[in-house]
Structure formats: structure tokens, C-alpha cells
Amino acid sequence: MVSVHVEDAGNRLPRPRPPASAGRVLGLVPAPLQVLVGIVSVQVGASLAKQLFSVAGPAGTVAVRLFFAALVLLLVWRPALRLGRRAWPVVLTYGVVLALMNLSFYQALARIPQGIAVTIEFLGPLVVALAGSRRLIDALWALLAAGGVVLLAETRGDLSTAGLLFALGAGVCWGAYILLSAALGSRTSEGKGLALGMAVAAIIAMPAGVTEAGTGLLSPWILLIGLAVALLSSVIPYSLELEALRKIPPRVFGVLMSLEPAVGALAGLVLLGESLHALQWAALCCVVAASIGATRSARPEV
């Protein structure tokens, strides 16, 4: 199962429970529409974040986003620091991986088109979904995804190698993040572990952000845009996805989430003017098709 636990392109977190009143309002919206709106929100947030790079830099943008996300989650959940010996190692590791995932993805986003960055990062969850499987059909999905990577390599001449490596690093972190999310959910209650993990991620990202942007991070305009990015990339999509998962099977949810690389490419085209070549679109479609296929053919226990 590819996408039960996945995020921005490059940027997804475990879903905190929305307030009861918000849940009732969200319950009126059809579940597939909730998922699609959440995907659009994440990718619009990524496009908005990219426009901050010229003044705050990728690391500065990550720092502002994680700071506001942590602040909101801490205010909502108000977690106690007494989690137990088994929980804290998971929370700390989760926070480290979360910070590295976001820093890597935003560095990639600064160097290559958004659609390509999301596509490469999406390989991380796909590998987690296919890992350990010995079925021929899953091997075929893996080969299809590998074909997409080969097509991207064919167009590497007009793409930053560093950007591709950062996106690949973000994908590795995303795969680790999925596994850590399961452990975090089993060792903490509600969104308390998430809030503390987000705070750890913000603390780790802050020095890099301050080094890159300096006091510019305190600009009211940057703080305002950073808050908007946090809301678009975290609060809105997580609330929508949590409510959708109450109504539709995880497998259907995963199929819908597999559209994220394509939505990321469209967001980059419309909001950032980032056009892709025909081979790059073909590569993106290979990864999307492999993700949809792996999700639909996944065994129930995956």
C-alpha cells in the first residue's frame, strides 16, 4: 500500500484529528473530493513555498514552515513530555527524518521542476510498498517505475544533477518516514507524538534556515507566507485525508494519492511556469501508473 501514510510531495505528516465541528463539516464533502482537494492543497503549498526561495532560501522556507506547523500542533494537542522510554527514541528519530525529508525536498525544488521533484520523491513510498513482495505483478510495477527513472535520466542534460540527488534523498527519507509513522502511532496517543516530533524537526531545521536567511526570516511578509504554506501543506490536507479515510478503503485512498506527481507537475506548470518535455511527462506517467498498479494489487495486510 503506497499512500496511506504519505505527504507533499515531499512534505506529508501523520494526520492529526480535526476538531469535532470541523469533522462534521468535512463529513458533508464526498471522500474522493476530499482527497483530491488535499492533494491540490499540498502542491499549491509547495508552489507557494518555492516563490519564497529567492528571499528566504529553501532551508529558510523549511524552517518557517516547520515552525508554524509545530506551533499549531503543540497548541492543538498540548502534549506532555512524559512519553516513556519506548516512545521518545521514535519521536526523536521521526523528527530528524522529517526535518531531513523537508530540507532535501525543498533543495530539490529549488533546482528542478516541481513535477519531477515530486515524481522522484514518490519512489520512496513505492519502494516501501513493494519491498518484500515476491509476486510477479509487483516486479512488473517496479520495472515500470524504473522505466520512468530511465526516461528522466535521458533528459538529465537540462536537469540539475544535485536537484535529482536531493529529490532521491527526500524519497529515501519519505520511505523511512512511513515506517516511523507506524511506530509513532503505536507508541503515542492521538497527535501528541506528532506534535513533539514536529517540534524536533523545527528545532533541527532552524539553524540551517537562520544560516541561509538570517534575520530575513523575521520579515512579516515571509512569516505570513510561511504560515500560509504550513496551512496549505499540513492542516488542510491532513484534516481532509483523515475524514476521507473514515469513508473509503485505504486501497482506494492510495489510488487517489498516486495522482500526486501529476498534480505536482500541473501546479508547477500553472503557478510557476515550469513546463516539462514529452519524455519527462512520460516518465511521470510511468511512476504514477506503477503506484496505482501497486496500490490496487496490494494485499489487504499491506
Spell out the residues 6+ positions from residue 80 whose beta carbon is closer than 8 angstroms to its own.
192
Task: List the chain residues with pLDDT less than 50.
Answer: 1-10, 13-16, 18, 20-23, 301-302
| pLDDT value for 1 | 43
pLDDT number for residue 237: 79
First to last CA, the chain: 5
Whether the model pTM is above 0.85: no
Residue 301: predicted pLDDT:
47
Q: What is the pLDDT of residue 238?
A: 67
Q: Which pLDDT value is given to residue 299?
A: 57
Q: What angle do CA 217, 219, 223 make, to 5 degrees?
A: 70
- pLDDT the model gives residue 120: 93
pLDDT (0 to 100) of residue 24? 59
CA-CA distance, 270 to 262, in Å (whole number)?
12
pLDDT confidence of residue 265: 93
For residue 27, what pLDDT is reported? 61
H runs (alpha helix) in 81-219: 87-109, 114-121, 123-130, 136-154, 161-187, 192-213
Q: CA-CA distance, 60 to 195, in Å (whole number)?
A: 20
Helix (H/G/I), strand (E/B), else coil: 221: helix
What pLDDT is attached to residue 282? 92
Q: What's the pLDDT tens digit per position in 99-114?
A: 999 999 999 999 999 9
Cα maximum dimension of the chain = 55
